[in-house]
A and B are shown apart, each in its own frame.
Chain A
């Protein structure tokens, strides 16, 4: 439904987006994930036809967004970053104006407005000037305007930026609700957002795709990142754990006069080592107060991807485009964040 072919944008000598290739099938929710300035908005602006690509092309619903712009734009509901709106207009008037731009008339327009006002919970503010509304309401007005002509494709640039946690949850629920019947592309730099709302993820850094696939696929691609964390008071724990056959590396850190915190990196991800670890620590005297497994989180992957993009931005890494493995395995063992990244 949304296709990018070698999509490239240069601003003077700066390459903002470099040879993007992706194909989002109908009905999928895909998240563009990347740090600020990665090229997410520029890519989205090319797909919506706002910015012309320097090279390559974008197609929506089979229409080239540059050549068949009118047909392509009719299929797209677009919420630009920070939802720009005419602040002097009332919500209802703004939606009516958007309806007219999409060629909607009379009763069809009125019923469409009623539909999106209900959908986005705007009934109480429909007569208020947009300038008086809170950020959350404005975001919803932008979303309502995007949904007004009932487009099959929704493109949302940072839809939850600047909202409070309750509003973020509402917007995410709305996106999930629309997911079945719409093809949705959303960009974000917030990781839980992608995990909560998207079927597939496209990781972007420095204008290039660094990995794409389902969240599960991406997690698997980060193989070698599983770790086990143990807190024990056994003085010989480090030696005992190093002796285990499936263990690659053990890092022990003394917490205080009694407790050690030990991080274990296994040789393979597919075997659960928790039982063996527990057994090897049980000597009848010492106590183990914590044992858990850390699976690679999207956050770990994200941080690694950004770091890789920063350092190894060599031509060799360039055409890694759609590869699922953004970096050599085990490149930074011991990197997953400590507490807080537990699944």
Chain B
């Protein structure tokens, strides 16, 4: 575990020492800020970040693949992967380290939006329960997106391919869970519908902490991380 943390802290510092990390943060905050000032921070609007969370979940779909696209692909391209994998470090420790760093970066990126909360507090009475629920939803969905991004970065040595792979997967996944239920028998439709990530996120955005939702996103995270470890181990099959 201490090795995973060593990898995570190195990775997080790398995000913060390179311009890429700041560009991602800036882009996210600018878009969220615009949305906040147009939709939430206005006369007659409820003192809530519901609108921000709604657009935020869509933004995460683009931002998370950008965070993780370099995770392992870049190490393999530069050859540092060889130095890493010849240290007494397991594949699981590497994947865990990369994932934890990405999650910490996501939390750092969300942190400045607390300013929006402060603005709400100045001019209204926001419901902190709902806000916390919204942030939890962002982190949970982000966790699943990031885990899938780590998997993609194991599968290719190209950052662009890793980014697009993750993005297209989720766009297809989301579209699929929306469209498919109308065309399949009821039994399957129920199953597919229950996989709809955006719908589950919507519940968190309005302040509904759904245990099923938590389990859903954590399960997705676990599946992707295990797949990433398996993909790394597969590389070592003779």
Q: Are A48 and B80 in contact (CB under 8 A)?
A: no
Question: A81 — which chain B residues lie within 8 A by C-beta?
Answer: 79
User: Does B183 touch A at the CB level, under 8 Å?
Assistant: no
Q: Are A102 and B88 in contact (CB under 8 A)?
A: yes
Distance (whole angstroms) from the CB of A45 to the closest CB of chain B: 7
The number of residue pairs between A and B whose CB atoms lie closer than 8 Å in the complex comes to: 70
How far apart are the CA atoms of A54 and B89 in the complex, in Å?
A: 22
Which one of A70-78, A164-172, A199-207, A221-229 is at the B interface?
A70-78
CB contact between A88 and one of B18, B81, B236, B238 (< 8 Å): that residue: B18
CB contact between B238 and one of A52, A98, A101, A142 (< 8 Å): that residue: A52
How far apart are the CA atoms of A284 and B89 in the complex, in Å?
A: 77
Q: Are B87 and A73 in contact (CB under 8 A)?
A: yes
Which one of B2-10, B105-113, B216-224 is at the A interface?
B2-10
Q: Are B14 and A76 in contact (CB under 8 A)?
A: no
Report which residue of B79, B81, B82 has the largest number of chain A beta carbons within 10 angstroms of its beta carbon. Answer: B82
Known: A52-B236, A84-B82. A101 touches B13 (CB 8 A): no
Task: Tally chain A residues at the interface, Cβ within 8 Å.
Answer: 32
Question: B89 — which chain A residues lie within 8 A by C-beta?
Answer: 101
Q: Are B14 and A88 in contact (CB under 8 A)?
A: yes
Question: A97 — which chain B residues lie within 8 A by C-beta?
Answer: 6, 10
Q: Are B79 and A89 in contact (CB under 8 A)?
A: no
How far apart are the CA atoms of A200 and B109 in the complex, in Å?
A: 56
Known: A52-B236, A84-B79. A76 touches B86 (CB 8 A): yes
Chain B 71-100 interface residues, beta-carbon cutoff 8 Å to A: 78-90
Q: Are B86 and A84 in contact (CB under 8 A)?
A: no
Residue of B nearest to A84 (CB): B79
Known: A50-B82, A100-B2. A88 touches B88 (CB 8 A): no
CB contact between A52 and one of B10, B81, B87, B237 (< 8 Å): that residue: B237
Distance (whole angstroms) from the CB of A163 to the closest CB of chain B: 18
Report which residue of B80, B88, B89 has the largest number of chain A beta carbons within 10 angstroms of its beta carbon. Answer: B88
Residue of A nearest to B90 (CB): A70
Q: Are A53 and B82 in contact (CB under 8 A)?
A: no
- One digit per residue, 1 when the CB lies within 8 angstroms of any chain A CB and 0 when it does not, for chain B 1-42 equals 011001100100110011000000000000000000000000
Q: Are B80 and A85 in contact (CB under 8 A)?
A: yes
CB contact between B10 and one of A70, A82, A86 (< 8 Å): that residue: A86
Distance (whole angstroms) from the CB of B170 to the closest CB of chain A: 29
Distance (whole angstroms) from the CB of B181 to the closest CB of chain A: 44
Q: Are B79 and A82 in contact (CB under 8 A)?
A: yes
Q: Are B14 and A100 in contact (CB under 8 A)?
A: no
Question: A50 — which chain B residues lie within 8 A by C-beta?
Answer: 82, 85-86
Known: A100-B3, A101-B6. A80 touches B83 (CB 8 A): yes
Residue of B nearest to A74 (CB): B88
How far apart are the CA atoms of A70 and B3 in the complex, in Å?
A: 13
- One digit per residue, 1 when the CB lies within 8 angstroms of any chain B CB and 0 when it does not, for chain A 44-72 equals 01001111111100000000000001100
How far apart are the CA atoms of A52 and B82 in the complex, in Å?
A: 13
User: Does A184 touch B at the CB level, under 8 Å?
Assistant: no
For the A-B complex with A53-B238, A89-B17, A101-B87 known, give 16 more contacts whose Cβ atoms are closer than 8 Å.
A52-B236, A52-B238, A55-B238, A70-B88, A73-B87, A74-B88, A80-B83, A82-B79, A89-B10, A89-B13, A100-B6, A101-B6, A102-B87, A102-B88, A142-B83, A145-B83
Give the 3 A-B CB pairs with smallest separation, nearest first: A84-B79, A100-B6, A101-B87
Which residues of A are in contact with B by a Cβ distance under 8 Å? 45, 48-55, 69-70, 73-74, 76, 78, 80-82, 84-86, 88-89, 93, 97-98, 100-103, 142, 145
21 CB contacts below 8 A, A to B, read A45-B82, A49-B85, A51-B236, A52-B236, A54-B238, A70-B88, A73-B86, A73-B88, A81-B79, A82-B79, A84-B81, A84-B83, A86-B14, A89-B10, A89-B13, A89-B17, A100-B6, A101-B3, A101-B87, A103-B88, A145-B83
